[in-house]
Amino acid sequence: MNVHITGTGSGIPARLVANGELAKTLDTSDEWIVSHTGIRARRIAGPDESTATLATAAARTALARAGVKPEDLGIIVLATSTPDYGAFPSCACLVQRDIGAVNAGAFDLFAACTGFIYALETARSLMLRDPRPALVIGADVMTRIVDWKDRNTCVLFGDGAGAVVLQASDRPGGLRDSILRADGTGSQHLVHEGGCRTPESGPWQKATLQMQGRQVFNFAVKAFDETVRALLAREKLTLDDVRWIVPHQANIRIIEATARRLDIGMDRFYVNIDELANTSAGTIPLALDQMIREEKLHSGDTIVLVGFGAGLTWGGTLIKW
Ligand code: COA
């Protein structure tokens, strides 16, 4: 049995905030942000938008494109770091309710910016036991947990959700191989407090993201490079066989540094960080959806998805489209 992505969708807030708007209230500039990150704008969720509403919008489109009815879904796996509620109900259950997936199980998965890679492999593995279609979502509203006074971090993030539908079939290809990795010894490099460990930090919503940017940058380039090499080695492929590398969109300079290490051109990487910034678990499915709309993915293309982020976590998935 092979598992294919048969539909994709996006959920993006209406409000677009360009760098210049941030520079009105923060000691920063469009020039600094573009030159250090590649980001020109981000979407920011409005009062009526949340991780669940963006995820639901993405899910509806993905299901329609796949031609799958909500009641036919067997499982919903939603990767997020910013669930609507602190602990429960899960965002996946809110999506399940709103799309009417009455026969599906649903749960959230926490692996920060690597969440979509973890969710994809989790759903694929579950489908080996129950081959009904699966819905995999990466969704975050990072702008609700950043410290808007910290120019080192707040300029990097945006809000958005991407969804994919997985279906089992005998057609060759599909999700071929995955690598999931973690290194908790680096957990202090990227932290959002407010859980049970730090009750003194107050309500969950009050805690803000803390990051050691340089350490995260160095980790990301190494993890990115190693994941691509390891997946290709396992599949006995070379970089020449790969049409697209679709990375987590954290910083254009992370992608450029990896391109140099792999000795391939930037034209082999799909990049949309300029308009959406880092939407955490959302970046990879949002990129896939945009690639499909731009007709950049064709049957038989080999692509490599790569995620990395807090935890520390990292991983990749090799797909024959
Ligand atoms: N506007 C203007 N200046 C800024 C700024 C901003 N938004 N953010 C930081 N600066 C300043 C710093 O204060 C520092 O000033 P100083 O030299 O006077 O202290 C200067 O720019 C350089 O800071 P530095 O930390 O050396 O910049 P950098 O080149 O390492 O870039 C990051 C900083 C955060 C962009 C970079 O480290 C990064 O992208 N790290 C990875 C982050 C990430 O992707 N996290 C998510 C992973 S999933």
**CA 253 to ligand 1: nearest atom:** 39
* Residue 164 near residue 139 (C-beta atoms within 8 A): no
Same structural domain, 256 and 196: yes
Query: Does 217 share its domain with 102?
Result: no
Residues 147 and 233 in one domain: no
Q: State which of 138, 171, 204 marks the end of a domain.
A: 171
Q: How far apart are the first and last CA of the chain?
A: 15
Domain termination site, one of 107, 141, 171: 171
**Are 12 and 156 members of one domain?**
yes
Q: What pLDDT does residue 198 have?
A: 66
Q: pLDDT tens for residues 127-151?
A: 999 999 999 999 999 999 999 999 9
Instruction: Give the CATH number of the domain where residue 139 resides.
Output: 3.40.47.10
Catalytic residue among 4, 19, 93, 113: 113
Three-state SS across 155-187? Answer: CCECEEEEEEEEEEECCCCEEEEEEEEECHHHH
pLDDT at 196: 74
Token pair belonging to 233: 């080695």
Query: Which of 171, 193, 226 lies at the terminal end of a domain, its last residue?
Result: 171
Residue ranges for the chain with pLDDT beneath 70: 198-206
Let me know whether 181 and 114 are in one domain. Answer: no
The pLDDT of residue 206: 62
Same domain, 218 and 100: no
Interval 179-226: pLDDT, tens:
999 999 999 999 998 777 766 655 555 678 999 999 999 999 999 999
**Count of domains forming the chain:** 2
Query: Which residue's alpha carbon is at the smallest distance from atom 40 of ligand 1?
Result: 213
- DSSP string over 26-90: SS--HHHHHHHH---EEEE--TT--HHHHHHHHHHHHHHHHT--GGG--EEEEE-SS-SSSSSS-
Residue-wise burial string across 156-189, b where 16 or more C-beta atoms lie within 10 A, e elsewhere = bbbbbbbbbbbbbeeeebbbbbbbbbeeeebeeb
Which DSSP letter does residue 240 get?
Answer: G
66 and 180 in a single domain? The answer is no
Ligand 1 pocket, residues with Cβ under 6 angstroms: 28, 32-33, 36-37, 113, 151-152, 155-156, 211, 213-214, 216-217, 220, 250-251, 278, 309
> Could you tell me if 167 and 273 lie in one domain?
no
- CA of 86: how far to CAs of 90, 97, 120, 209, 311, in Å? 9, 18, 23, 15, 18
Cα of 152 vs centre of ligand 1, distance in Å, is 5
pLDDT of residue 306: 98
25 and 142 part of one domain:
yes
For position 202, what pLDDT does the model report?
Answer: 55
- The pLDDT, as a whole number, for residue 201 is 55
- Among this protein's residues, is 298 annotated catalytic? no
| Domain membership of residue 140 as a residue range | 2-171
Quote the pTM value: 0.96
Asked about 196 being catalytic, the answer comes back as no
